[in-house]
Structure 1
């Protein structure tokens, strides 16, 4: 068997820990699923939905942060699932505050935060999160790297676990396309960009999630998100989740096509790296601004033999060899 496949299957085996907290055929409600142009978050969402299917979970509802009503009555035997990703902390405060509000609103329910990277810059924000999280008696937080795990164990008294990202549930992935180009430079253009690693000669010819989509595609995302806000006012009568499922399938398929047409991927996007691994593409992962990518690689994807990592600025030879 291909060594890369062995590595991916080893990562998949570590996702079994989810079953200890979310039993097969359990009744769940899925909160905070993303409606925006970051296809990485859409991969997490699709992997989560695959987890639901594999374990025959009874999903009684799916809500974004825009259309969920915090006074909604949820059956006592229903597990509340919060979307995973890299927004646990104060770098993306809107998502963190929303998660804290969910935890405050349902003190008697079992709540599971799906695999997250944790990063706080402000102690005041951390202390607020500690107070809210530690008051809950049945809260389970999955972290997706060892640094986040140790941080959570130090500051939170809730149940803490270590698990790979939910996007790995998409493995094995059957998608192929004719190779048309050598290297795809897929680099962050936001606040997490590590400018010391992202050389300007690469940035000029690189893509990011936003630049991969057309203006029309991004406009449609905004329209669907706007209808999500309207849906809350209408007491959730609109089929937002069903509409978004179809459109997000299209966005992910387009991303797969772009990646598949390249022989090698150089990326500072964690899910650019995970997508390359899912497609069994040779890839080089550049660290982000605060070490999220390197921590994930060291925890899980170091097993994937056609992947490599750059953490420091003096490894120019790896970058040059990728051209």
Structure 2
């Protein structure tokens, strides 16, 4: 059963039934990389602050396969599909890219956003094979917006994919800084 994270204190196994549009965030990390955790937290805070009329549902990456049919069954035209940002678009982290491909090629009728990412397909046989797989999957979604978090990735996304590409800083910069007052 997929876990849907509705807020920071409650985990549920069913999508709430109400009139609010939903912002589904796939690929949320459960592993302990603190940078990826910070990106995920910043994304949640951004959506909660900038899209207050939306309910925000996080789907951890391991639950993506189970969650896709549940989301499909409950999806409405004004819902938004998103995939968490970071630095794992390309062939360096196959499991992340395969999960991203599934989401992007499944939810083709809704606005789909790839939150700010860095991209790297290696210049070798594996990189070329994986790039073609991603190009095929991404091209199925006319509503997909790719967001690059650095200039090099912006250029690579523009030259690799036919989807809309925008450039914005890493989502972690949305968070307020903390003064730890170290001496």
Structure 1 contact 84–113 (Cα < 8 Å) conserved: yes
SS in 1 for 2:109: coil
Q: Name whichever structure is richer in helix by fraction.
A: 1
- In the TM superposition, 1:91-102 aligns within 5 A as 91-102=92-103
Measured against aligned partners, the alpha-carbon deviations of 1:112-144 in whole angstroms (never above 9, x if no partner) come to 000000000111110111111112110000001
The list of structure 1 runs, each at least 4 consecutive aligned residues, that deviate by more than 3 angstroms after superposition, is none
Q: 1:119, 1:169 → 2: CA distance?
A: 24
Give, in angstroms, the shift of residue 53 of structure 1. 2.7
Q: Which residue of 2 aligns with 1:38?
A: 33
Tell me whether 1:178 sits opposite 2:176 in the alignment: no
Q: Which residue of 1 aligns with 2:139?
A: 134
- In the TM superposition, 1:147-162 aligns within 5 A as 147-162=152-167
What are the ranges of 5 or more consecutive residues in structure 2 without an aligned counterpart?
A: 1-19
- Aligned partner (choices 46, 49, 53) of residue 48 of structure 2: 53
Identify if the C-alpha distance between structure 1 residues 51 and 26 changes in structure 2 by more than 3 Å, giving closer, same or farther.
Answer: farther
Q: 2:143, 2:113 → 1: CA distance?
A: 9
SS in 2 for 1:142: strand
- In the TM superposition, 1:107-126 aligns within 5 A as 107-121=108-122, 122-126=127-131
Give the root-mean-square deviation of aligned CA atoms: 1.6
Q: 2:69, 2:25 → 1: CA distance?
A: 16
Q: 1:42, 1:162 → 2: CA distance?
A: 21
Q: Which residue of 2 aligns with 1:71?
A: 69
Measured against aligned partners, the alpha-carbon deviations of 1:188-227 in whole angstroms (never above 9, x if no partner) come to xxxxxxxxxxxxxxxxxxxxxxxxxxxxxxxxxxxxxxxx
Give, in angstroms, the shift of residue 28 of structure 1. 1.1
TM-score by length of 2: 0.79
What are the ranges of 5 or more consecutive residues in structure 1 without an aligned counterpart?
A: 1-24, 180-323
Structure 2 contact 47–56 (Cα < 8 Å) conserved: no
Structure 1 contact 71–105 (Cα < 8 Å) conserved: no
SS in 1 for 2:31: coil
Q: 1:131, 1:174 → 2: CA distance?
A: 42
Structure 2 contact 44–56 (Cα < 8 Å) conserved: no
Q: 2:23, 2:95 → 1: CA distance?
A: 23
SS in 2 for 1:67: helix
Give, in angstroms, the shift of residue 175 of structure 1. 3.1
- In the TM superposition, 1:108-257 aligns within 5 A as 108-121=109-122, 122-171=127-176, 173-179=177-183
SS in 2 for 1:107: coil
Q: Which residue of 2 aligns with 1:106?
A: 107
Q: Which residue of 2 aligns with 1:266?
A: none
Equivalenced residue count is 154
